């Protein structure tokens, strides 16, 4: 039974289409193409309206939901009906032709010929209805492509292309069928041809939209080529080097990230240089790594399993950062692993638990020290540390004197020197202070999202204070 067609499996339905019979035929195929397109578009709308992301599309969500209802309550059900109707109707048309061709009586044959043409007229109306629904569906698909869930634009595009392709098929069906009529049906054929000509104009306009959407995706990827190419060149360059200028390497990466920030950040695009210092984003959006935050991470040794702060598996493109440490330690660990990804060829590398959490200093090899240097330069760039230091303390080089001591809340030199007995304690104070000379500000260690100790060491490295 033809009414059972929609209850068949996909394979069974495909066998029906390929069996060499006239049912289901090309009209049903066009309707089926529209049905698939409708469901794809409904899927994208559902993803767009999902609770976890619908706030991102708040300006158009009502229109999305209206379109969803239109598809599910009108377009898809009607296409389903037409899928069946076309098989039934074209079967009538074919049977009328068979009866006509086998009839011997010329008068009866003439009647059957007229009957076959009347059945064909109904068969022509069905593709027009299918095309009208698919035209409506194509407009919706174009809207959803532009305004719906961006990661599902493949579905939107297939839905758009499929609905437009269905229109193309309907045009071909109509033009073929209208050839069966002669001059005695001139007015009818003229009207049909005028309608199908209008439909073809719509088809051509929609085809331009289809190509435009494909071009959008191509252009988006083309824009990323300099970013991907640039990162690939940097990695190849510095992995091959045995005497790397790590700070220069970091600067090149930061410039590349800043120049391509609009591609990397889909929203909340960084407005300052410090906002791009996000190892997790670079791993995920630029380098294609999976980034995992886990309660603990262990590395097996010959003797036992030791807990580590972070680990990178370069062949499998995965970074795991232990979340048992403070945020600034996790950030430094992530930057440390980024250093490994850029600088080193070893497959698997890990960062041990930081010194301040071990309680004692351990000997570390050059690879680990280089990764620490990378993290230092990455999270605390020379230029921006100097700028922020001067913004807070007003000097290129800070020294304890009467003037600077007084700016710590009216204190004198002896009080400050009694508090800061050496250069490290002074650099810690400058790293953590949040008020100086009557000005309140974010402390340097918080601004750069590192530990007080890391910030203090960096200030000393840059010779920003004397003691």
Which secondary structure element, helix H or strand E, spans residue 427, and what is its range? helix 423-432
Partners of residue 290 on adjacent β-strands: 318
Q: What's the whole-number mean pLDDT along residues 131-155?
A: 96
Residues with Cβ within 8 Å of residue 193, at least 6 apart in sequence: 178
* Beta-carbon count within 10 A of 20 CB: 5
Q: What is the DSSP string of 113-157?
A: HHHHHHHHHHHHHHHHHHHHHHHHHHHHHHHHHHHS-GGGHHHHH
Percentage of the residues of the chain whose pLDDT score is greater than 90? 66
**Residue among 144, 181, 3 at smallest CA distance from 84:** 3
Q: How far apart are CA 63 and CA 397, in angstroms?
A: 60
- How many angstroms separate the CA atoms of 237 and 242, rounded? 10
Please say whether the beta carbons of 170 and 198 come within 8 A.
Answer: no
Please report which confidence band the pLDDT of residue 180 belongs to, taking 50, 70 and 90 as the band edges: confident
Query: How many other C-beta atoms lie within 10 A of the C-beta of residue 100?
Result: 18
The string of pLDDT tens digits covering residues 343-374 is 999 888 766 655 454 444 455 688 989 999 99
Higher pLDDT, 412 or 25: 412
* 300 DSSP β-pair partners: 305
Whether this prediction's pTM lies above 0.75 is answered by: no
- What is the rounded distance in angstroms from the CA atom of residue 400 to the CA atom of residue 37? 73
Question: How far apart, in whole angstroms, are the C-alpha atoms of residue 143 and residue 157?
Answer: 11
Question: According to DSSP H, which parts of 184-326 are helical?
Answer: 186-239, 246-259, 261-264, 279-281
Q: How many angstroms from the chain centroid is the CA of residue 65?
A: 22
Distance CA 141, CA 259 (A): 33
pLDDT digits (tens, 9 = 90+) for 115-133: 777 777 878 898 999 999 9
Whole-number Å distance between alpha carbons of 127 and 89: 11
Model confidence pLDDT, tens digit, residues 14-66: 676 655 565 667 888 899 999 999 999 999 999 999 999 989 899 999 999 99
Residue 24's CB is within 10 A of a number of other CB atoms, namely: 23
3-class SS of residue 352: strand
pLDDT tens-place string over residues 159-174: 999 999 999 999 999 9
Instruction: Report the 10 Å Cβ neighbour count for 363.
Output: 5
What's residue 1's pLDDT?
Answer: 43
Instruction: Find where tokens 């996000």 sit.
Output: 278
pLDDT-derived band of residue 251, with 50, 70 and 90 as boundaries?
very high
pLDDT-wise least confident of 17-31, 219-233, 268-282, 411-425: 17-31
Is cis: bond before 437, omega within 30 of 0? no
The more confidently predicted of residues 249 and 18 is 249
pLDDT digits (tens, 9 = 90+) for 72-88: 999 999 999 999 888 77
Q: If you average pLDDT over residues 200-229, what whole number do you get?
A: 95
- Name the residue with higher pLDDT: 425 or 87: 425
Residue 9 confidence (pLDDT) above 80: no
- Residue 13: CB atoms within 10 Å: 16
Topology of domain 2-220, per CATH? Answer: 1.20.120
The domain segmentation of the chain, as residue ranges, is 2-220, 259-378, 382-461
Please identify which residue in the block is written with the tokens 């440390």.
336
Render pLDDT for 291-313 as a digit per residue (tens, 0 to 9): 998 766 554 444 555 567 888 99
Mean pLDDT for all residues in the chain? 88
* Predicted confidence (pLDDT) per residue in 309-341, tens digit: 888 999 999 999 988 888 999 999 999 999 999
């Amino acid at each position: 039974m033809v009414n059972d067609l929609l209850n068949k499996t996909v394979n069974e339905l495909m066998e029906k289409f390929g069996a060499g019979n006239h049912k289901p035929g090309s009209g049903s195929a066009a309707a089926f193409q529209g049905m698939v397109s409708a469901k794809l578009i409904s899927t994208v709308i559902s993803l767009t309206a999902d609770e976890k992301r619908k706030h991102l599309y708040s300006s158009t969500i009502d229109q999305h939901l209206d379109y969803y209802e239109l598809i599910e309550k009108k377009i898809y059900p009607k296409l389903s009906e037409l899928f069946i109707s076309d098989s039934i109707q074209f079967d009538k048309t074919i049977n009328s032709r068979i009866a006509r061709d086998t009839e011997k009586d010329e008068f009866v044959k003439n009647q059957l010929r007229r009957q076959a043409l009347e059945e064909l007229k109904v068969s022509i109306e069905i593709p027009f209805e299918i095309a009208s629904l698919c035209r409506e569906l194509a407009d919706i698909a174009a809207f959803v492509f532009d305004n719906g869930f961006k990661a599902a634009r493949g579905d939107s595009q297939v839905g758009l292309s499929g609905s437009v392709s269905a229109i193309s098929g309907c045009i071909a069906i109509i033009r073929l069928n209208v050839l069966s009529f002669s001059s005695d049906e001139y007015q009818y054929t003229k009207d049909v041809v005028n309608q199908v000509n209008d439909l073809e104009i719509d088809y051509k306009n929609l085809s331009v939209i289809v190509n435009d959407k494909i071009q959008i995706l191509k252009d988006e990827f083309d824009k990323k080529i300099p970013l991907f190419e640039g990162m690939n060149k940097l990695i190849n360059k510095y992995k091959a080097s045995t005497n790397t200028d790590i700070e220069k390497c970091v600067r090149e990466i930061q410039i590349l990230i800043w120049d391509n920030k609009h591609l990397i950040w889909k929203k909340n695009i960084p407005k300052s240089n410090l906002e791009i210092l996000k190892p997790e984003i670079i791993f995920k959006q630029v380098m294609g790594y999976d980034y995992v935050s886990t309660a603990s991470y262990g590395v097996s040794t010959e003797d036992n399993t030791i807990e580590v702060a972070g680990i990178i598996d370069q062949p499998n493109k995965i970074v795991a950062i232990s979340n048992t440490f403070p945020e600034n330690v996790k950030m430094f660990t992530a930057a440390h692993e980024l250093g490994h990804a850029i600088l080193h060829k070893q497959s698997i590398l890990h960062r041990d638990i930081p010194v301040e959490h071990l309680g004692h200093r351990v000997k570390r090899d050059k690879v680990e020290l280089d990764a620490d240097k990378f993290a230092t330069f990455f999270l605390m760039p020379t230029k921006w540390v100097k700028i922020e230091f001067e913004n807070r303390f007003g000097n290129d080089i800070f020294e304890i004197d009467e003037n600077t001591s007084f700016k710590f809340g009216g204190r004198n030199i002896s009080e400050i020197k009694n508090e800061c007995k050496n250069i490290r304690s002074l650099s810690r104070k400058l790293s953590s202070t949040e008020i100086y000379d009557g000005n309140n500000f974010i402390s340097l260690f918080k601004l750069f999202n590192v530990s007080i100790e890391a910030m203090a060491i960096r200030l000393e490295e840059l010779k920003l204070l004397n003691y």
